Structure 1
Amino acid sequence: MSIHFHEEDLPDGLSFEGAIAVDTEAMGLHPARDRLCLVQLSDGRGDEHLVRFRKGSAYSAPNLKALLGDPNRLKLYHFARFDVAMIQAYLGFMAAPLYCTRTASRLVRTYTDRHGLKDLVRELLGHEISKQQQTSDWGAPELSDAQREYAASDVRYLHALKEKLDERLVREKRVELAQSCFDFLPHRALLDLAGWPEQDIFAHDG
C-alpha cells in the first residue's frame, strides 16, 4: 500500500480498474469562496493517489478529468454532495455516476445519528482512522506526511464500505431508493452552487 503525490494532474499512463473512490480537500466548505486544493483517488487495489492544486492553478488536469468524467465508471464518495460540487466548480464537470456511503448509511443505519466516515469505518470494517488533520491548512505550500495520510485514508476504505452497505440496502429493501438518491445528488450539488444550499425548494412553507 502506497500513497502517491502528484502536482496539478495524474501522470500519463496511470491506469485504474473499476470504480474509483474520490474525495476532495479545500480551504473551506464554500465553493464560491474556498478553493479546491486536493483530489484523492483509489481504485481499491491498495494505492492512493493525491493530486494537489496550488494557489493560482488553472485546474486543467486533462488526465484527471478524463478519469473522473468517464460516464461509464462509478465514482465512490463519502458526502458526495460536497465533493461533486467542488469538482464542478473548479474542474468544470460533474464527476458522476456516483455512490455516496454517507447517504447509504443514513438509509440503513437508522439506529444512529453518527454517519461520519470514522464511525462507518469503525463499525463496519473494524478499523480506526484519525480525523486530526481534517481542519488543517490544505492550501499550505507543503503538505505534511500527516496531512497526506489523512487525505489518503478518506478514500482507502470506500470500496469495502460500499460492499457492506450494499448488503444492508438489500436486506432492508432500499436499493432502488438509494439509487434514486445517488442519481439526484449531482442535481442537489448544482442547487448548492446556484445559491440554494440550505433552502428545501420542495418544502411547503407558504
Structure 2
Amino acid sequence: MTSSRPPSEGAITLHRNDLPDDVTFSGSVAVDTETMGLKPYRDRLCLVQLSAGDGTAHLVQLVPPSLGGTGYDCPNLKRILADPSVTKIMHFARFDVAILQHALGITISPVVCTKIAARLVRTFTDRHGLAALCRELLGVEMSKHQQTSDWGAPDLKPEQLAYAASDVLYLHALWEKMDALLQREGRRELAQACYDFLPARAQLDLLGYEDPDIFSHRS
C-alpha cells in the first residue's frame, strides 16, 4: 500500500444502486457501511462507503425495489469487495464483513481492521473507537452526530453524507499508523491471523454463534 496522509478536505460522490463502471480501486480500498441497525440478519444495508485514500469518498446508496431501486443487484460494487487483489481496510470489520457478506452474497477478503490492530497494540487504553484513534494518531476531529440517523431514507441529508464519508477518508492514514505499531510490537503476524479469520467469524455471527460464542469456555 502506498503512503497516505490524512485528507484535509474530502470530495464526496453519491452513487445510487451501484458504482459506475469507471470507478475502480487497486491495491487497497477503505470500506464502511451504514445500516438500519446492528443485526446483519435483520437490518437492511443502506449505504456502502469506499475511498482510495486520496481524499475522495464514493458512497453507494443501495435502494430497495420498493423505493424504486435495484436492491442488492450491484455487480460493480460486489466485484470490488470480493476482489482478492484489493485489500479492504475497515474499522470494526467483524460487523461490516458480516453485513456485506449477508446482503451481497459474497466473501469479503482480504481484510485488515484498525480496531483489531488498536486492541492488540494500544493495551494502555480502552479508547479504540474510530473517532478516538483519528484524534490521537492523526490529529483529526470527527463528528459522530449522524451515527444513529435514518440511513434508510430515500434522500440522505448532506450531514449524513459528510459523516459517512469521514468514516473512510482517514482509514488509509490510520492503517499506516496502526500497521507500524503492529510491526513495532511484534504482533503483525498475530493481527494477520485475526484478519484472515474475519470472513469465518462473520459467518459464525450470522449463524447465531455470537452468543453463545463457540470459543467460550462457558457451557
Aligned residue among 174, 186, 190 for 1:161: 174
- How far residue 95 of structure 1 moved from its aligned partner, in angstroms, is 1.6
* Pairing 1:139–2:125 present: no
What TM-score, normalized by structure 2, do the two folds share? 0.91
TM-superposition CA deviations, 1:38-81 (whole Å, max 9, x none): 00000111110000012334311111111111011100000000
Give TM-score, length-normalised by structure 1. Answer: 0.97
**Does residue 54 of structure 1 match 2:63?**
yes
Alignment of structure 1 residues 8-19 onto 2, 5 Å: 8-19=17-28
Counterpart CA distance in 1 for 2:211 and 2:146 is 27
Distance 2:25 2:86 in 1: 10
Q: Which runs of 5+ in 1 are unaligned?
A: none
Calculate percent identity across the aligned residue pairs. Answer: 60
Partner of 1:34 in structure 2? 43
Q: Give, in whole Å, the separation in 2 of the partners of 1:55 and 1:14.
A: 22
Aligned residue pair count = 206
Residues 121 and 128, structure 1, Cα contact 8 Å, conserved in 2? yes
Please give the alpha-carbon distance, in whole angstroms, between the structure 2 residues aligned to 1:205 and 1:32.
Answer: 25
Q: CA deviation at 1:193?
A: 0.4
Which secondary structure does the structure 2 equivalent of 1:168 belong to?
helix
The AA in structure 2 aligned to 1:29 is L
- Aligned CA RMSD, in angstroms, stands at 1.0
What code does the residue aligned with 1:106 have?
Answer: R
1:76 aligns with 2:89: yes
User: 2:52 — aligned with what?
Assistant: 43
After the TM superposition, which segments of 4 or more aligned residues of structure 1 sit over 4 Å from their partners?
Answer: none
Q: Contact (CA 8 Å) 1:71, 1:97: kept in 2 or not? A: yes
Q: In 2, Cα distance between the equivalents of 1:145 and 1:78? A: 23
Match of 1:128 in 2: 141
Deviation of 1:167 after TM superposition, in Å, equals 1.1
- Tell me how far 1:200 sits from its aligned partner: 2.1
Report the 3-state secondary structure (helix = DSSP H, G, I; strand = E; otherwise coil) of the residue aligned with 2:195: helix
Q: Quick one: distance in 2 between partners of 1:127 and 1:171?
A: 23
